[in-house]
Structure 1
Amino acid sequence: MAQNDEGSNSKEQDRLLPIANVGRIMKQTLPPNAKISKEAKETMQECVSEFIGFVTGEASEKCRKERRKTVNGDDVCWALGTLGFDDYGGTMKRFELSTCGTMN
């Protein structure tokens, strides 16, 4: 029975962003003297992981309907706009352009 619990816990952790990364991003955003509880990090970890899955699912569905197998940055930006996150779509597009420009 314990193995099943461990297995399901492992699957749960696989779908979440690493908590250290979430904590690091939170620290960069908050004032230097701010303290972040473990519960706050875990809550944020759950929220951002759910958000990423939500957006990725929408982008993936678009690709499926277009009979494509690969989700690209434009698909993610489209999904953000479709889901009502237009502000994020513009930010993502600018990031994608700046990244692609430096890679060439």
Structure 2
Amino acid sequence: MIDEQDKLLPIANVGRIMKHILPRNAKISKEAKETMQECVSEFISFITSEASDKCHKENRKTVNGDDICWALSSLGFDNNSEVMLKYLHKFREYENKRLNKTKPQAVKRKMM
């Protein structure tokens, strides 16, 4: 049986993100971290489930970033969807540039 903790995001990561937006001298209780951990994990599960259902209906096995953005929008999180789409676009641009930089070097090495 799957342990309940295995379904949740690591509490240390949740606490680190919470500390990042609070003043330096702010204290966060263990209960607050645990509550946020449960909420964030449930939210991610909710969005992922919606994206997975879309993929299933389209006979696809892999959920991608566009599916997550679609799920956010379809569930009423339009602002989050717009931000995620911008991030996804920039991430893909970065990955393409990174891949294009490594390809010529590999060709040069083969020639030597």
TM-score by length of 2: 0.82
Q: Which has the larger radius of gyration?
A: 2
How many residues get paired? 96
- Aligned partner (choices 6, 9, 16) of residue 17 of structure 1: 9
Offset from partner CA, 1:68-90 (integer Å, 9 cap, x none): 00000110000001111111101
Q: How far apart, in 1, do the equivalents of 2:16 and 2:53 lie? A: 31
Q: How far apart, in 1, do the equivalents of 2:25 and 2:93 lie? A: 36
- 1:57 alignment counterpart: 49
Give the unaligned 5+ runs of structure 1.
Answer: 1-6
1:36 aligns with 2:28: yes
Q: Runs of at least 4 residues of structure 1 off by over 4 A?
A: none
- 2:93 alignment counterpart: 101
Q: How far apart, in 2, do the equivalents of 1:98 and 1:11 lie? A: 36
Q: CA RMSD in A?
A: 1.0
TM-score by length of 1: 0.88
Identity fraction in percent? 67
Secondary structure, counterpart of 2:69 in structure 1: helix
